[in-house]
A and B are shown apart, each in its own frame.
Chain A
Amino acid sequence: MNDTNTDVIQGTLDMLILKTLSLGPLHGFGIARRVEQVSQRVFKVNPGSLLTALQRLERAGWLDSEWRQTENSRRAKFYALTRTGKKQLEAEKADWNRRASAIARLLKAEG
């Protein structure tokens, strides 16, 4: 194990989940895998945080959940983005872009 930091950046887990689900419904494990794959293993999702976050987002009305059969005929809880969830994702993306570019500018200026 190397000591590269793979923690999801504080406060971005919600956005990552919403983004991942914007591509289609997934269950918890699927979301974790997808985040890891797409980020090319830069981020590793902690299962406890993920499942708690899913419950919270569902409560907030951004996700819907449903128990369904998976492709290998197991029951799994699938999450899907709701309309308000889509709006929330857009808002978080805009916010993130604004902040990320600001940080990028700052780093550039220093360099």
Chain B
Amino acid sequence: MYKNFLRYLISAFFLLGLGTSANAEFKVGFVYVGPTGDHGWTYQHHEGRNAVEAAGIKTTFVESVPEGADAERVIRQLAQSGHDLIFTTSFGYMDPTNKVAKDFPNVKFEHATGYKREHSNVSTYSARFYEGRTLLGHIAGKMTKTNTIGYIASFPIPEVIRGINAMTLAAQKVNPNIKTKIVWVFTWYDPGKEAEAAQALIDQGADIIMQHTDSTAPVQTAEKAGVWSFGQASDMQRFAPKSILTSIIDDWAPYYVERAIAARDGTWGQQDTWHGLKEGMVAMAPYNSAMGSDLVKEVEQLQKDLASGKTHSFTGPIYDQKGNMLVAEGKVADDGMLAGMSVYVKGVEGDIPK
């Protein structure tokens, strides 16, 4: 009996030894707000993770982590279990990420779409989705017959408001009669509710459905009702082949690989990244031929101009709903203003929920 006990003890020591040596290996952790199978936001982050893995770096991920107390626990756990770099991929992880970063100065943190970098080991990164929204607005303004664009919004944060504004400004430019109707669903991900919101907007006369939520339900509802729609975060074309005009695609892979390698090689430094069409972090899915070749050409040109910086999504004069000037004629909005955007531009109906 004692012999066996000794044997267990020895093997336990060996296992422990193996365990610590495994911990020394460079590891990257990912925290997702939705399931990897949402075919939207989280799916694209997961694709980015796959690219990191393909580059020969070990990764771990935790999916469907609610934004709240759970988030901090999960991030802390990843930090404790020997991860060297942790990507937290939703706006609501902002405070938890900074809190954990304080306690783990040797672990590096990358928070998506946030603006708080309270410690030197926290970087932030986001994509200029609004550039894609500008293209959608241009297309929507040209394609709508009812002059009503339906917009399913998630939470009243700058990123979402920026998208609504960019889209509306671009649509107004090509069609001054445009109206943007907005429904706030207060969720990133609830297919049933998103479908209901899309249906409500369609019933209210919208013939273009746009979403800032993560599931494919809105485009499917649009397909069923025979109105146009745009995919969000990834190419949703196969869910609504007739209805989808194009999708905004978030491509995180190059950034994730670059940062992971930098962290492994010790060249990682704190930064605030905001990439767009130019760097390819925002990309457009193929345009639907139903748009007509003229419009496709127009939009492709606009896409090039946005990428090269010749055109900016927020070029003055821009007024808010009350008529106050936000951006003067001939000027463009600076990044600070874009990052904190919390008012609607003229032409958007309704109030922003407070």
A and B assemble together: no
Interface residues of B (CB under 8 A from A): none
